Amino acid sequence: MLSPVVFLVFLCVISPAAAVVGDGGMTMTLQLERAFPTSHGVELSQLKARDRVRHGRILQQFSNGVVDFPVEGTYDPFLVGLYFTRVQLGSPPKEFYVQIDTGSDVLWVSCASCNGCPTSSGLQQIQLEFFDPSSSSTARPISCSDQRCALGEQSSDSGCSARNQCGYTFQYGDGSGTSGYYVADLMHFDTIVGNSLTTNSSAPVVFGCSTSQTGDLTKPDRAIDGIFGFGQQGLSVIAQLSSQGVTPNVFSHCLKGSNGGGGILVLGQIVEPNLVYTPLVPSQPHYNLNLETIALNGQTLAISPQVFETSSNRGTIVDSGTTLAYLAEEAYEVFVNAVSQAVSQNVRPLVARGNQCYLTTSSVGDIFPMVSLNFAGGATMVLRGEDYLIQQNSIGGAAVWCMGFQKISGQGLTILGDLVLKDKIIVYDLAGQRIGWANYDCSQAVNVSTTTSRGKTEYVNAGQIGNSSPRNDPYTLLLSVILTFVLQALVFGTYSFL
């Protein structure tokens, strides 16, 4: 329930001070100061640009910093093979489809005059867009002397152009890459207020403007507008918004595995009583966890714990930008052989393109063993057959299921991609330096935690927030009236609050 708030309505914009009667009859005097001098005119576009930034700050006073994005796409490599959401950037706002990627740090989108960028997408209902900084009244390039350019060096190979633009180059694990320059502009989103309300809000963020792409990024069959990096470095959106006090330093997602996929991404904490947590390995560029053992139906596999230890080229990484899952090479054969032996009486094994597969007429949930990934701190991630197998096709009425876990030859990396992350709430508690999870039906709504103006923690049904009708909510109407008064004061009197 929305907590009582003292609303200040400005009925006069001429006097240098205004007296307002607050809650309980207390009189408060607010000093007002002109932000622009009256000795010269100001372009309306300047006022509107400044107002948009101010509106974001105004709304933050009433919000609790929980932002949710609807997720589209699926883990299934035969359909989409990735999860993505939509972000709105610039003034006026323009919408872009971006892949959710916890394995990289920076948000970037394709920009005007991009070399090698796809112009169409094979994904249903996606029309690719290009960001044009010259068409946004609030866009500002990042210079090489800007301290935010130095933050970019944590995430990419940065460089400076002849025009003193802060540039970047990203190289991804699949061999694809992108380069461009950083720009600052507004991101627009819905903020959950109280426990039943969404309002339009915005905040300035720095993101990449891609002018060149290579590799799989150029292929139109599954092309999208960019990548939404959720890493831990300073230029990730979650780091930028949390440092501004817009959102807490935590984000969560729940990726739906069946019936076309989808789900929800939350800049905030998804609340679930069955969550278990394990600490992050400190001082790592990715979300590294301490995987200790793997068990099938409760029986621990004979894999040395040293196989999973974190080093420069080893360890266990949580990465939503990876479609499948990967086991360290020393653990892969042990795991596959154990699974094959456990189902030898119920399936017909076969090898397809070098991958271990199984022909079965039974449900994989009935015959394939439960897999337990056991992490430091006593946290266990339980995987069903559907969480480590991929259905490829059928032969004579029998389904062909193949091993979804793969290996990277010559490397000791274990990567938990979308195949494993789907159908679970995953919480990245960056403030607490830990990751939590719980099995969950991600077609259902989720609860998120929020703190009211009285410091009380409440839970909001985020999955149904977007289906409400906020324009009919009395609190929304009241907030709209207040913002209208403030907007008039800003445009015609252009005052700033002390």
For the packed helices 474-488 and 44-62, what is the interaxial angle rounded to 10 degrees?
140
Maximum average pLDDT range among 299-313, 419-433, 482-496: 419-433
pLDDT digits (tens, 9 = 90+) for 366-382: 999 999 999 999 999 99
Is the pLDDT assigned to residue 104 strictly greater than 80?
yes
Active site residue 387: no
Regarding predicted confidence, which is higher, 44 or 153? 153
Tens-digit pLDDT profile for residues 237-278:
999 999 998 889 999 999 999 888 999 999 999 999 999 999
pLDDT over threshold 70, residue 199: no
Question: Pick the residue with more confidence: 254 or 493?
Answer: 254
Mean residue pLDDT of the chain comes to 79
Determine what percent of the chain is predicted with pLDDT higher than 90: 54
**Rounded to whole angstroms, how far apart are CA atoms 220 and 118?**
6
Model confidence at 490, pLDDT cuts 50, 70, 90, reads: very low
pLDDT attached to residue 222 = 85
pLDDT band at 157 (very low <50, low <70, confident <90, very high): low
Check: CB of residue 425 under 8 Å from CB of residue 438: yes
Task: Decide: pTM greater than 0.85.
Answer: no
* pLDDT recorded at residue 287: 96
- pLDDT > 90? residue 466: no
The per-residue pLDDT for 52 is: 44
pLDDT at 165 over 70: yes
Mean pLDDT of 118-140: 92
Higher pLDDT, 451 or 374: 374
pLDDT band for 10, please (50, 70, 90 cuts): very low
Look at residue 172 in the predicted model and tell me its pLDDT.
Answer: 84
Asked whether the predicted pLDDT for residue 11 surpasses 70, the reply is no
Does the annotation mark 23 as catalytic? no
Domains identified in the chain and CATH numbers = 66-268+446-470 (2.40.70.10), 274-439 (2.40.70.10)
Of the candidates 101, 105, 423, 429, the residue annotated as catalytic is: 101
More confident site: 39 or 484: 39
- Per-residue pLDDT at 463 exceeds 90: no
- What is the reported pLDDT for 411? 84
Q: Which of 76, 105, 185, 319 is catalytic?
A: 319
Q: How confident is the model at residue 408 (pLDDT cuts 50, 70, 90)?
A: confident
pLDDT at 316 over 60: yes
CB contact burial 109-146 (16+ within 10 A = b; e otherwise): bbbeebeebbeebebeebebebbebeebbbbebbeeeb
Cα–Cα distance, 318 to 288 (Å, whole number)? 7
Section 411-417 average pLDDT: 93
pLDDT band at 460 (very low <50, low <70, confident <90, very high): low
Is the predicted pLDDT of residue 314 greater than 80, yes or no? yes
- Residue 30 structure tokens: 């607010």
Long-range contacts of 492-496 (CB under 8 A, 24+ apart): 492/13, 493/13, 493/14, 493/34, 494/34, 494/35, 494/36, 494/42, 494/47, 494/50, 495/13, 495/32, 495/33, 495/34, 495/35, 496/32, 496/33, 496/34, 496/35
Radius of gyration, CA atoms only, the chain: 25
